[in-house]
Amino acid sequence: MRNKKKTITVVTSCLNEAKNIEELYNRLKNVFSNEKYSWNLIIFDNGSKDKTWDEILALSRSNRNILGYRMSRTFSLDAVFTSGLLECTGDAAIMMASDLQDPPETIPALLRHWERGTPHVAVRIKERAEMSKTRLVLTKIFYRISNWASDGLIPENVSDFRLMDKAVYQAVNELTERNRFMRGLVAWTGFPTEFVEIERPPRFSGRSTANYPGLIRFATQGIFANSIKPLSAISILGVISAFFSILSLLFFIPYWFLTGVPFAGFGTIIGFIALGFSIVVSMLGLLAEYLGLVYGEVKMRPHVVRWESTN
């Protein structure tokens, strides 16, 4: 008997990507036409305001290997990827963006690593097209902090674009937390990983929906959801604040002896206010972030709400 073809499932999310969907499918189809695998596409309309869902419906009518879902509103990208991985049944799953900044032509390189026995193959970005200098700096800062906070679990410049063996994505599916940061979750599972480096191309069409407040929130949640080091840093911050407060007092005490003070006890009051305020605000800010994560977990809400589906 002939061996059954292995199946690769591609998972992607669309937000106002109506002009990219057909091109994405055609390029995926071209890539897999030269491979020995069968494949299918799980594609989400994540609350688009354009004709994204219409494009998915039209494409899926003649392509039974497309499974389309329409979300009731826009959810986080990691929540949508989670929902997609829960639908996967293939021998391997590939997560990628739908704007073609994750080029489908990279997939053969991912498959070659997988064929050699690597269960998890991630894409590292060497160069990013169409990214402002401000965002490049913020990206570098995020990766440095997240790498430190996660003890090296989150490598620098590694995107969501990746291939996961069935054993890997099933392990990720068993992680039930609601505050999802997929890069951290996949890394936490600990499977051997190799990297494919690419230069990220510009979007095929349309404009990015990313904005700085959203990116900052994504970055902070990714750090806090995967590490308690910021909590440990509170005590260090307190010691540093106390050190500088003492230094300032040592400077001002001789100064006040020479020039006088506005009133008795002025220096003591200033020193204690500076010390206490800096420590308390820092502690409250960090605790609030973790309390917010706990609040999200105890509500036990689903990751996404699906509205419609096709095929």
Q: Where does the chain show beta strands of DSSP type E?
A: 7-14, 38-45, 66-71, 92-97, 120-128, 158-165, 193-200, 306-310
Helix, strand or coil, per DSSP, at residue 298:
helix
Tell me phi and psi for residue 165, to 5 degrees. -60, 160
Other C-beta atoms within 10 Å of 181: how many? Answer: 23
pLDDT exceeds 50 at position 139: yes
Phi-psi region of 100 (alpha: psi -120 to 50; beta: other; left: phi over 0): left
pLDDT at 1: 39
**Alpha helix positions (H), 190-265:** 212-224, 229-259
The Cβ-side half-sphere exposure at 26, using a 13 Å CA radius, reads 5
- 294 or 79: which carries more pLDDT confidence? 79
Edge-to-edge, what's the strand order for the sheet holding 120-128? 193-200, 120-128, 158-165, 92-97, 7-14, 38-45, 66-71, 306-310
171 has pLDDT over 60: yes
The pair of structure tokens assigned to 224 is 């806090």
Do residues 201 and 162 touch, judged by C-beta distance below 8 A? no
Residue 298 tokens read as 């105890």
Q: What average pLDDT score do residues 77-93 get?
A: 93
Confidence band for 144, pLDDT divided at 50, 70 and 90: confident
Is 0.95 surpassed by the pTM of this model? no
45: closest CA among 301, 219, 300, 304?
304
* pLDDT of res. 161: 95
Other C-beta atoms lying within 10 Å of the C-beta of residue 8? 24
Could you report the per-residue pLDDT of 26-55, keeping only the tens digit for each?
999 999 999 999 999 999 999 999 999 999
For residue 179, the surrounding DSSP H or E stretch is none
Spatial distance between the Cα atoms of 28 and 100, rounded to a whole number of angstroms: 10
The mean pLDDT of the chain is 81
Please list the residues that pair with 200 across neighbouring strands. Answer: 128
Mean pLDDT is lowest, of 31-35, 197-201, 238-242, 258-262, for 258-262
